[in-house]
């Protein structure tokens, strides 16, 4: 029982370390040929949004470009996250958690 608790605590600590590492990463997504830019961190939190003043003239296009920029940024940060998780061995977290729960 105590072994399971220790394993769970170690897993929780490792997950926090990985989350901290990912928070240091960021990616920029663009939409409307760069008229809209969104910067996202590794915890998928939006850090900044930049909109070219020309983009403000057409609400429908602006909405579309924001969507494009967000989707582009999320895709890029997910690729970075996958590489980082592989580098720090975080991809094994799911199997380790599964192993703990089976015991």
| Angstrom distance (rounded) from CA 38 to CA 68 | 10
Q: Are 69 and 37 in contact (CB under 8 A)?
A: yes
pLDDT > 70? residue 98: no
pLDDT > 90? residue 89: no
Q: Are 77 and 26 in contact (CB under 8 A)?
A: yes
User: What value does the mean pLDDT take over residues 8-30?
Assistant: 86
Residue 65 pLDDT level (bands cut at 50, 70, 90): very high
Q: How confident is the model over 28-57, as pLDDT tens digits? A: 999 999 999 999 998 889 999 999 999 999
Mean pLDDT of the chain: 84
Q: How confident is the model over 4-14, as pLDDT tens digits? A: 777 778 888 88
Please indicate, yes or no, whether the overall pTM of this predicted structure exceeds 0.75: no
Residue ranges and CATH numbers for the domains of the chain are 21-102 (3.30.1310.10)
Going by their DSSP bridges, the two strands 36-41 and 46-51 should be labelled as antiparallel
């Amino acid at each position: 029982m105590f072994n399971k608790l220790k394993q769970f605590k170690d897993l929780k600590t490792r997950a926090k370390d990985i989350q901290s590492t990912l928070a240091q990463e960021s990616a920029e997504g663009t939409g409307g040929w760069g008229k809209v830019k969104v910067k996202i961190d590794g915890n998928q939190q939006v850090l900044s949004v930049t909109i070219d003043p020309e983009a403000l003239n057409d609400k429908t296009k602006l909405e579309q470009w924001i969507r494009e920029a967000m989707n582009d940024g999320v895709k890029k940060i997910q690729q970075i996250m996958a590489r980082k998780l592989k580098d720090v061995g975080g991809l094994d977290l799911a199997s380790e958690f599964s192993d703990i729960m089976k015991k």
